[in-house]
Amino acid sequence: MKLILFGPPGAGKGTQAKLLEAALGIRQVSTGDLFRAAISNQTPLGVKVKTILDSGRLVDDQTVVDLVAETLVKPEYAPGYILDGFPRTTAQAEALDAFLAARGERIDAFIALDVPEDELVDRLVNRGQGRADDTPDKIRLRLQVYRQETEPVFAWYRAKGQAQTLNGLGTVEEIQTRILHAIGR
């Protein structure tokens, strides 16, 4: 099973990915975790990412794709994986699909969690991580950026007949049950 969990910040992608990891017996792939590990291990891509981030720039699409691809070819990902927070742009989605096609593979499911904006703001303000940008105004700005830059990824997968939208409201368990049902488990 190759699954993409998709949605705006605060939709619950990371929480669900961790639960699904255990339920499905496959690994979660979080680009943030990959960045941290590559930097910590000083891999060639990690050094490149650190240089980019240290200069204050955003990591370009191709570098993100290269980092994910470097991970997905490892044997522990052969049974499948859950992509959390990737792809974030249509260019990343296109590159991921090309990478998978070259291996004779494809994404099995694309699940978008739908949560009203006011609920997203409440979740992020109250999540207790103490991020400096977890104020209502800054969260709404991040959601606007998400709508402009990331939401088009949904249209990419919808056009391919792979995208499903699920209600992201309810208990963690209710949402997990919806996801498992949507993927036939």
Which residues form the catalytic set?
Answer: 13, 88, 127, 131, 142
CA 54 centroid distance within chain? 23
Q: Where are the beta strands (DSSP E) in the chain?
A: 2-6, 27-30, 81-84, 109-114, 163-167
Cβ neighbours, 10 Å, residue 50:
15
**64 close to 149: Cβ distance less than 8 angstroms:** no
Closest CA to 83 of 149, 148, 144, 33: 33
